[in-house]
C-alpha cells in the first residue's frame, strides 16, 4: 500500500521527520506557502495533483491542509480516496488537534501567529486566525444566510471580527523540528521591538503522524470516497464533508 501526500511546504520538516519514523510508504509532494493567499490557484494546483495520480500506484491521496481560505472546498476525487484533516487552517495542524486550537485561539481568533515552517523561507511568515481569512469570505449576514443557510451563517458572522484585544499579540508555535533553531528568538525580538506581547505555544505533530500512519478516525479526518466533492461545513466539529458528484 502506497500513499501520495500533497502538502504545504510550511510542514516540510515535520513531514520528513514523521516519514523517517513511519513504516508506511508515502510519496510527498509540496506546494509553496504563498499559495495560501490565492485559494483559487491553490485549489487548481491540488486538483491537478489529484487528477494526475495513478490509481495503479497509489491507494490513497493524503492532503495535509486545512480548509485554507476555502481552497479545499470544491476539490473532486477521481478513482482514489482522499484523506484530509478536519481543520479550518494549518494552525490546527501545527497544534495537533481542534481541541488545542480552540483552547489557544478560541478566545482570540484574530491573533497573529507564526511557526518555524513559516519563517524558514524569507520574510513572509506572519499568519492570523481570523475566520474570514480561513473561509475566504467577506459578506454581510444576509449574503451569508443566502449562501450557507441561517445556522451556518450566524456561526460565521459572529466569528468574523471578534473584539478580542489580540491585535497586540504575536504567538510562536514551536514544533519539535525547530526546537534548536533561532527562529523563536528572532520573532520574539521583532514582537518586543514593536511593543507587542509575545507568547510561545508548544506545537504537536500528532495530526501529521496520524495522517501519514493511517490513523484516520472519523472525528478528526474526512475520508473522501472516489467521485465525490469536498464541501465546507463551517463549524467547530466536522469543518468539511464529502458529497457525491452528480
pLDDT, one tens digit per residue, over 102-119 is: 999 888 877 889 999 988
Residue 229 dihedral angles phi and psi, to the nearest 5°: -120, 145
pLDDT tens digits, 161-215: 555 555 688 999 999 999 988 999 999 998 999 899 999 999 999 999 999 999 9
Residue 138, pLDDT > 90, answer no
Q: How far apart are CA 171 and CA 201, in angstroms?
A: 7
Mean pLDDT of the chain: 88
What number of other Cβ atoms are within 10 A of residue 213's Cβ? Answer: 15
Name the region of 74 (left: φ>0; alpha: ψ -120 to 50; beta: rest): left
Residue 135, pLDDT > 70, answer no
Q: How far apart are CA 96 and CA 87, in angstroms?
A: 10
The distance of Cα 233 from the centroid of its chain, to the nearest Å, equals 15
Q: How far apart are CA 65 and CA 8, in angstroms?
A: 7
Name the region of 122 (left: φ>0; alpha: ψ -120 to 50; beta: rest): left
Q: 220 with 86: CB under 8 angstroms?
A: yes
Least confident of 21-30, 40-49, 146-155: 146-155
Task: Choose among 11, 31, 22: nearest CA to 212.
Answer: 22
Q: What is the pLDDT of residue 199?
A: 95
In the chain, which ranges are continuous DSSP H helix? 12-21, 39-51, 90-95, 98-105, 116-119, 131-135, 141-148, 150-160, 183-193, 206-212
Q: What angle do CA 34, 46, 97 make, to 5 degrees?
A: 75
DSSP 3-state percent helix, strand, coil across the chain (nearest 5): 40, 25, 40
pLDDT tens digits, 50-62: 999 999 999 999 9
Residue whose C-alpha cell is 468539511:
240
Q: How far apart are CA 145 and CA 134, in angstroms?
A: 18
The residue among 158 and 77 whose pLDDT is bigger is 77
132 — pLDDT class (breaks 50, 70, 90): very low
User: What value does the mean pLDDT take over residues 8-22?
Assistant: 96
Q: What is the pLDDT of residue 69?
A: 82
Q: How far apart are CA 34 and CA 135, in angstroms?
A: 17
Query: How many angstroms separate the first and last alpha carbons of the chain?
Result: 30
123 — pLDDT class (breaks 50, 70, 90): low
Q: How far apart are CA 212 and CA 22, in angstroms?
A: 8
Amino acid at each position: 500500500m502506497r500513499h501520495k501526500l500533497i502538502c504545504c511546504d510550511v510542514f516540510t520538516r515535520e513531514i520528513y521527520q514523521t516519514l523517517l519514523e513511519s513504516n508506511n510508504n508515502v510519496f510527498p509532494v509540496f506546494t509553496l506557502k504563498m499559495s495560501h493567499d490565492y485559494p483559487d490557484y491553490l485549489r487548481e494546483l491540488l486538483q491537478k495533483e489529484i487528477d494526475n495520480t495513478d490509481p495503479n500506484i497509489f491507494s490513497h491521496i493524503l492532503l495535509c491542509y486545512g480548509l485554507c481560505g476555502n481552497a479545499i472546498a470544491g476539490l473532486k476525487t477521481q478513482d482514489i480516496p482522499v484523506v484530509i484533516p478536519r481543520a479550518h487552517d494549518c494552525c490546527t495542524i501545527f497544534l495537533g488537534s481542534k481541541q488545542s486550537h480552540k483552547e489557544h485561539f478560541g478566545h482570540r481568533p484574530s491573533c497573529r501567529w507564526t511557526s518555524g515552517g513559516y519563517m524558514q523561507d524569507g520574510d513572509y511568515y506572519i499568519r492570523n486566525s481570523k475566520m474570514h481569512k480561513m473561509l475566504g469570505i467577506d459578506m454581510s449576514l444576509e449574503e451569508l444566510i443566502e449562501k450557507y443557510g441561517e445556522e451556518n451563517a450566524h456561526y460565521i458572522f459572529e466569528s468574523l471580527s471578534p473584539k478580542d484585544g489580540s491585535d497586540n499579540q504575536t504567538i510562536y508555535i514551536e514544533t519539535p523540528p525547530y526546537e534548536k533553531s533561532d527562529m523563536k528568538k528572532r520573532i520574539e525580538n521583532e514582537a518586543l521591538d514593536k511593543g507587542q506581547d509575545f507568547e510561545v505555544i508548544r506545537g504537536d505533530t500528532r495530526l501529521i503522524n496520524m495522517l501519514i500512519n493511517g490513523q484516520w478516525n472519523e472525528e478528526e479526518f474526512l475520508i473522501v470516497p472516489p467521485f465525490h466533492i469536498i464541501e465546507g461545513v463551517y463549524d467547530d466539529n466536522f469543518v468539511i464533508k464529502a458529497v457525491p458528484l452528480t
